[in-house]
Amino acid sequence: MTFVKGARERFEFQDMILLKQHDERRNIQISRAANTYLVTPDGAPSAPPVAAGAAVAPPKPPGVVMVSTTIVDTGERKAMFGQQARHVKTMIDKQPMPGACDATKQRIETDGWYIDAPKAMAAQPQTDPARTEVAGVCLDQINATHNGDPAALGFPIAYTTTVSADTAKPAVVSMEVTEFEVTTLDAALFEIPQGLNAALNMGELSKALSNANEAKLVAADSAPAPTAAAPRVPGVPRIGVAEFTNKTSQTVDTRGLRSRLITDLVVAKFDAVPMAAAPPAELQKRAAEFGYDYVLLAEVADLKVSKPGAIGGMLRAASRVTGSGGDAKDITESSIDVKLVQPDGKNRLSATTKGKDGSAFTMQTGLGLARFAGTMYMSMMMGPSMMYRLNGLGGANLGGMGMLGSPDLFRTQTSSLGAAGLGMGVDGTAGAAAFLLQQAMAMNGTGGLVGAGQGPSYDASLGEALDGAVKAVTKSLQPK
């Protein structure tokens, strides 16, 4: 739901509310469940700064990405919400030149209906986010060309967008306005409510969201089982994934590991759901009550550090781009014990999977970390229904995020469509979702899975161990 009053906007995504106070040049994220808010100035970097003295690999030299936008008014008209709506098609074609850091070719086609924006919305200032530099990150130069008249656009009432990329199947997402009203809104809707806790940074907001969602999960697991099980896909096992346990002396984000494992299991085409921490016997009992096929128990068994050779050192330095803590000379090794248990107590799998940073760091591991960053906190912030919309645009994989994953490309999209103000062809709710997605990904750099940013980062080695766990589960459930 979207509300606009003067220079302020309010976007509601289930638990999460985003206030954009253009007059104050700031954005406010509010979690109702966590009773917490975070203020972010316009133009603030979405990624956390690299710690002083930390080793940062030099970025690849930037290349050039060509973005061509075409706008076509079909001439069709129909009455919508008391106005004449225009049928307009747009196409944004993204072509990276040789040497570009972002080498993904992409086409975004939108078939939509637009009405003239109300005066209050048309008067909104353009809100291009400032281009922010992040240490060690390559940012391509974007060269944009435009064809067609942006005046054909306006406030989007309905549209279907198809995203095609050379690395993924086409994805389709649709939007339709079901209610449109011009009225006088209470100014309090666009202010921070009284009684909320202020988060000072992304890490504090992340912790508050995690605690709030864990409380919901504990309550759900303690409640009587539903009389009707949640809908299922025939032939797909439903796996309850418990919060990790940890037998090392290190402080480990066991909830984060559970979320990352669930994400990877879903990508592997399993039906994976979270379970709150409890003794194994209690977990098996709850699994039987809720109709789960298996319970997945995982424990961080070992975390250790060694020194790399020359090649491993370079790869380790490259991983410092993410902003996680640790010395560029350190190689981390992780071990995870995994058990897949039926509700009746019968073991289907018992294995130990290992991961190693440095010489074993791969692009696949890096993409897994990015996918985890973009899904764990988005599910906290926006709820499952919005995640389904984002996943339709490829939000669960780094290569398919398109305009949502790149502030520069999203800014180019808005300017290409003639966004002289809110409502000129760009879905404001999609823009708010893009902002939250960028903030969610930035949360992954505020601490890491081990030690909250203190000492070496185990994210890559744990990521590889989790990849191994998913492979072991997949193999154990294959038909004999």
Q: What is the DSSP string of 250-273?
A: S-B-HHHHHHHHHHHHHHTT-EEE
Q: Are 351 and 343 in contact (CB under 8 A)?
A: no
Domain range for 460 is 200-370+446-476
Give the mean model confidence (pLDDT) for residues 227-254: 86
pLDDT of residue 161: 87
Q: What was the pLDDT predicted at 440?
A: 65
Helices (H), ranges, 223-330: 254-267, 280-290, 310-319
Residue 203 is predicted with a pLDDT of 77
Q: Residue 289 has which token pair?
A: 């009550």
Residue 356 counted as domain residue: yes
Helices marked H in 407-458: 407-416, 428-443
Spatial strand order of the sheet with 197-198 comes to 2-5, 8-13, 16-21, 26-31, 36-41, 197-198
Residues 79-106 have a mean pLDDT of: 91
**248 against 364, higher pLDDT:** 248
Point out the least confidently predicted range of 172-181, 286-295, 311-320: 311-320
Q: Where are the alpha helices (DSSP H) in 53-136?
A: 119-122
193 found inside a domain: no
Q: What is the pLDDT of residue 443?
A: 57
Is the whole model's pTM more than 0.75, yes or no? Answer: no
What angle in degrees, to the nearest 10, is found between the helix axes of 363-392 and 202-222?
70
Position 118 scores a pLDDT of: 77
Domain CATH number, residue 456? 3.40.50.10610
Residue 98 lies in a domain: no
pLDDT score for 117:
80
| Residue 324 resides in a domain | yes
Q: Do residues 203 and 140 lie in contact, with contact meaning Cβ atoms separated by under 8 Å?
A: no
Angstrom distance (rounded) from CA 222 to CA 390 = 30
Is 318 a domain residue?
Answer: yes
What pLDDT, on the 0 to 100 scale, is given for residue 136? 54
- Reported confidence tier of residue 39, pLDDT bands at 50, 70, 90: very high
Question: Which two three-digit tokens encode residue 122?
Answer: 């048309």
Q: Is the pLDDT assigned to residue 407 strictly greater than 60?
A: no
Decide if pLDDT at 342 tops 60: yes
Domain count along the chain: 1
Asked if residue 107 is part of any domain, the answer here is no
404 close to 410: Cβ distance less than 8 angstroms: yes
Contact assessment for residue 122 and residue 73, using Cβ atoms and an 8 Å cutoff: no
Asked if 380 and 439 touch (Cβ cutoff 8 Å), the reply is no
* 186: Cβ contacts below 8 Å, ≥ 6 apart: none
What average pLDDT score do residues 406-434 get?
Answer: 56
Within-domain flag for 56: no
The average pLDDT across 129-133 equals: 50
pLDDT, the chain, mean: 76
- What is the mean predicted confidence (pLDDT) over 224-239? 77
Residue 166 pLDDT class (50, 70, 90 cuts): confident
| Contact yes or no for 159/172 (Cβ under 8 A) | no
Tens digits of per-residue pLDDT, 23-35? 999 999 999 989 9
Residue 258 maps to a domain: yes
pLDDT for 329:
52
